[in-house]
Structure 1
Amino acid sequence: MALDVFTLNEMKDIVESIKSEVNIYKIGLQLLTSEGPEAIRYLKSHGKTVFLDLKLHEISSSVSSAIKSAGRHGVDMITVHASGGQKMMESAVEAASEFPRMKVLALTVVTGLNDQDLIDIGFSRKSQDQVIRLAQIAQRSGCHGVVASPQETEALRALLGKDMIMVTPGIRPEGGDIQDQYRIGTPAHAINSGASYIIVGRPIVQADNPEKAAKEINRQIYLVVTDIYK
């Protein structure tokens, strides 16, 4: 669950309303720059798993220091940009090794970019090809998992194997507004394709009834998982 809000009070209201449905919460740049580590401390004090989505992309020493700071706050998962390169990701994994619970996840290509955007930036590959290339580098670097859209999940699962954590953003319920996302999928599609975790933010945060929205998404996941393990 992505806590796409500005204040601790908003965050607390959301967490309280869906506490029976969600145990893992993503803190992104919006909340962290607004409220700082207090958001992490609140979640950890309530026994929640914290996914800190910093998308780190810097020189290795800076990334290592940020990872260690996050680890001291009890962060369970943290993101780095795979495009930062193998040495940077290796440094991130080494820094995280001080914290046995912490997983380093490599972001491949954000879901707000499409093929034309990549061409404009200067990449010659289409989004899926670029995602696969970066994911392979992340795996060689020792990262525990990758972050990729639902459109690449199936190919990545086949390529990377069953042990690699696969986190899937860009999740929109059937018929939902795509907003600023391009490479999207439904909860059922993502789980069917091999996602370990899905990230859902605004469809819950902006819902009139967040608990009801979270329940419906969990229902869809349950149906898929039940069908897989029949």
Structure 2
Amino acid sequence: MAGQLIVGLDVSSRARAEDIVTALGDSVSFYKIGYQCFYGADGFNLGKALIAAGKQVFFDLKLLDIDNTVEKGVAAFAETGAAMLTVHAYPKNMAAAAKGAAGSGLTVLGVTVLTSMDDQDVKDAGYERDAAGLVALRAQQAREAGIGGIVASPQEAEMVRTIVGPKLAIVTPGIRPAGAARGDQKRVMGPAEALAAGASHLVVARPIVEAADPAAAARAILAEMDGKRTSFA
């Protein structure tokens, strides 16, 4: 169960990130490093240190560029031993990323529609589909591109699972345990419900890293997840 919970180290200090990792101990084995930590807390070297210590690391950097740049960039991240890396879920971008990750243990994830967006936000961005429709399109394109999975809200997990099949990863932010504030998230779900819907991994940041006792918060989420383990490996 611990391997399905990914804790987002959304902090600006490496010392703070390391304190969180120490506090969580063996209860958590998987960490996400996004923009805040990557640029503000020496996140690249922190990630490599976590990998060396036997942890799994998810670099959430949402790469998007010309095909050659994306392919080479993904290949460079693959060499670190990272477990996951995000790219924007455009077809050519995902195909280039798949080439860069080929032969490695890196799972490339296509980011579909951010969990902070709803149907109106998607419309304002110029799409003629609602959020679920755009996620469905990107999921199909991700499968065709040959990448390892997608990032989507838990509310679309069941639909996405029918599109991508049982093997691809479905990584879901927007996880809010009982009593947690939504913050700027719009398409959210509880931990057990998200796993039951088809998610393979749950990303949780603020409800853990901003808690007075991060370890207790993580244990509570793991307890909610218990018994809902998926078949993705």
Normalised to the residue count of structure 1, the TM-score between the two structures is 0.93
1:225 shift after superposition: 3.9
Whether 2:155 is the aligned partner of 1:145: answer no
1:68 shift after superposition: 1.8
From 30, 35, 38, the equivalent of 2:36 is 30
Listed as ranges, the gaps of 5+ residues in structure 2 are 1-6
Task: Quote the Cα distance in structure 1 between the aligned partners of 2:139 and 2:225.
Answer: 25
Whether 2:63 is the aligned partner of 1:56: answer yes
Higher relative contact order (CA 8 A, sep 6+): 2
Task: Quote the Cα distance in structure 2 between the aligned partners of 1:94 and 1:65.
Answer: 9
Whether 2:202 is the aligned partner of 1:195: answer no
User: In the alignment, is the contact (CA less than 8 A) between 2:14 and 2:43 conserved in 1?
Assistant: no
From 180, 184, 207, the equivalent of 1:176 is 180
What is residue 73 of structure 1 aligned with on the other side?
80
User: In the alignment, is the contact (CA less than 8 A) between 2:161 and 2:198 conserved in 1?
Assistant: yes
Q: Which runs of 4+ in 1 moved over 4 A?
A: none
Q: What one-letter code is carried by the residue in structure 1 that aligns with 2:176? A: R
User: Percent of aligned positions with the same letter in both sequences?
Assistant: 39
1:192 shift after superposition: 0.7
Alignment of 1:11-50 (within 5 A): 11-34=17-40, 35-50=42-57
Q: What one-letter code is carried by the residue in structure 1 that aligns with 2:62? A: K
What is residue 169 of structure 2 aligned with on the other side?
165
Task: Quote the Cα distance in structure 2 between the aligned partners of 1:225 and 1:75.
Answer: 23
| DSSP 3-state at the match of 1:208 | coil
What is residue 94 of structure 1 aligned with on the other side?
99
Normalised to the residue count of structure 2, the TM-score between the two structures is 0.92
Listed as ranges, the gaps of 5+ residues in structure 1 are none
Could you report, residue by residue, the CA deviation over 1:178-200 in whole angstroms, capped at 9, with x for unpaired residues? 00111111101101101110000
Task: Give the alignment's Cα RMSD to 1 decimal.
Answer: 1.5
Task: Quote the Cα distance in structure 1 between the aligned partners of 2:75 and 2:44.
Answer: 14
Whether 2:223 is the aligned partner of 1:219: answer yes
User: In the alignment, is the contact (CA less than 8 A) between 2:139 and 2:150 conserved in 1?
Assistant: yes
Q: What one-letter code is carried by the residue in structure 2 that aligns with 1:62? A: T
